[in-house]
Amino acid sequence: MRVRRLRAREFRTYARLDVALGAGLTVVHGRNGAGKTNLLEALYFGCTGRSCRTSNEREVVRFGAQATHIDLDLEAADGVEHTLAVGFQPGEPKRLKADGAEVERLIDVQARPLVSVFLPDRLDLVKGPPALRRGHLDQVIAAAWPARAETRRVYGQAVAQRNALLARIRTGRASRASLPAWDAEVARHGVVLRDHRAEACDLLAEPFARAAGDLGLAGDATLRYRPRTQAADADAFAAELAERVDGDLERGFTGHGPHRDEIVLQRDGRELRAYGSQGEQRLGLLSLLLAEREALADARGAVPLLLLDDVMSELDPVRRGKLAARLDGPGQSVITTTDLAHVPGAAAASVCRLAVRDGAALADQAEAA
Ligand SMILES: Nc1ncnc2c1ncn2[C@@H]1O[C@H](COP(=O)(O)OP(=O)(O)O)[C@@H](O)[C@H]1O
Ligand SMILES: [Mg+2]
């Protein structure tokens, strides 16, 4: 599934935006502040119905405008055309459409490109708390195996219910007798969630190490799952919960289980999170996204759309070349840069170049010449 055309109205700097994307690589170039990241964000917003940049979505509506609209024209691998549309007015429910029909959520839409996005300020994924990596891994799992998204949800509900019960026991409004039922429920979904995560991390480990090697992250890069529980089955996990109940009652919440797991990214045996330089963390993040793209391509038979914001500026020429070589493969990618010369191969006839300036994005004339 690829995006052929992106149209936006009143999105960030763009009163109107209408661009065709390349089948392979599209390079968005322009000076700082020109609107390059805004264009990537518009694309992401159109694919997912969400911003990749902010949780305060009213920011995406152009200053002075009431509402924003994004339309995407898509083409499936079999040549069939599809459309996605997102309409957003702050304070109102979003209006999402797939092939002209209203839908609740875009993630449920089959005819939709999967997207991976690299933004420099997503470095939190590498250096932030484990919860961010867990949430991210769970999203990758949901994208690779849509039916598995449910496990994450029901596990979260079971933990929330158990926590609520712990709170009632603490204040004398409930007895411990009702705990084993919730231990069993948490354990039943918890072992499945853990096994899904273990499988996903197994799939990501090799491509992660390879991408990190390619991009020049010095030393051995590893991605490893560190689950809280090693329990062989749900009963064993429920027993672990029962053993820890005094601590849980003291804390007021469930302190054991997959909601405390970690996904460990290391370089030469040391966690990137704690010991990596900014540059190493960036390479770690980029390697993680490239690994996910490979894993998703294998699992779903379609290469996700890759959005890379301003990555080249921090890479040396050799690494730029290696990254460009990866983008030259199958699948669609969009990369932003202030300087076209930083993207090896940007001048090739197969590459789509979009010049961004003054709230407009135009296909480079060079292509026609
Ligand atoms: N809602 C908005 N309406 C209009 N302009 C906006 C809005 N949000 C951000 N901007 C402007 O977008 C510009 C930054 O665009 P951006 O895409 O981040 O630039 P870059 O090309 O450096 O990636 C800034 O000048 C900022 O003021
Ligand atoms: Mg930018």
How far apart (Å, rounded) are the C-alpha atoms in residues 224 and 214? 19
Ligand 1 near 63 CB (within 6 A)? yes
pLDDT tens per residue across span 92-150? 999 999 999 999 999 888 889 999 999 988 899 999 999 999 999 999 999 999 899 99
- Share the mean pLDDT of the chain: 94
pLDDT tens per residue across span 15-25? 999 999 999 99
Q: Which two tokens stand for residue 103?
A: 């839908």
Q: What is the pLDDT of residue 329?
A: 83
Tell me the whole-structure pTM to 2 decimals.
0.91
pLDDT tens per residue across span 166-204? 999 999 999 999 999 999 999 999 999 999 999 999 999
Ligand 1 near 36 CB (within 6 A)? yes
Q: What is the pLDDT of residue 108?
A: 82
Q: How confident is the model at residue 365 (pLDDT cuts 50, 70, 90)?
A: low
Range list of H helices, 176-310: 179-215, 234-243, 245-251, 272-275, 278-300
Nearest CA to ligand 1 atom 24: 33
Nearest CA to ligand 1 atom 16: 35
Nearest CA to ligand 1 atom 3: 62
Average pLDDT, integer, range 207-224: 94
For the CA atoms of 38, 39, 45, 48, what is the dihedral angle to 10 degrees? -130
Q: Name all domains of the chain by residue range, CATH numbers in brackets.
A: 1-114+303-369 (3.40.50.300), 123-301 (1.20.1050.90)
Q: How confident is the model at residue 311 (pLDDT cuts 50, 70, 90)?
A: very high
147-185 in b/e form (b: 16+ CB < 10 A) is: ebbebbeebeebbeebbebbeebeeeeeeeeebeebbbb
Closest ligand 1 atom to Cα of 34: 21
pLDDT tens per residue across span 262-309? 999 999 999 999 999 998 999 999 999 999 999 999 998 889 999 999
Q: In what order do the strands lie in the sheet with 68-75?
A: 14-20, 2-11, 68-75, 81-88, 95-98, 101-103
Ligand 1 near 310 CB (within 6 A)? no
How far apart (Å, rounded) are the C-alpha atoms in residues 346 and 258? 44
Percent of the chain with pLDDT over 90: 88
Rounded to the nearest angstrom, the distance between the alpha carbon of 340 and the centre of ligand 1 is 20
| Encoded amino acid at 346, one letter | A
Rounded to the nearest angstrom, the distance between the alpha carbon of 288 and the centre of ligand 1 is 27
Q: What is the pLDDT of residue 328?
A: 86
Nearest CA to ligand 1 atom 11: 13
Rounded to the nearest angstrom, the distance between the alpha carbon of 286 and the centre of ligand 1 is 24
Q: What is the pLDDT of residue 367?
A: 46
Q: Which two tokens stand for residue 263?
A: 């996904």
**Whether the Cβ atoms of residue 302 and residue 262 lie closer than 8 Å to each other:** no
Decide if pLDDT at 218 tops 70.
yes
Ligand 1 near 365 CB (within 6 A)? no
Ligand 1 near 42 CB (within 6 A)? no
Closest ligand 1 atom to Cα of 62: 3
| Encoded amino acid at 98, one letter | A
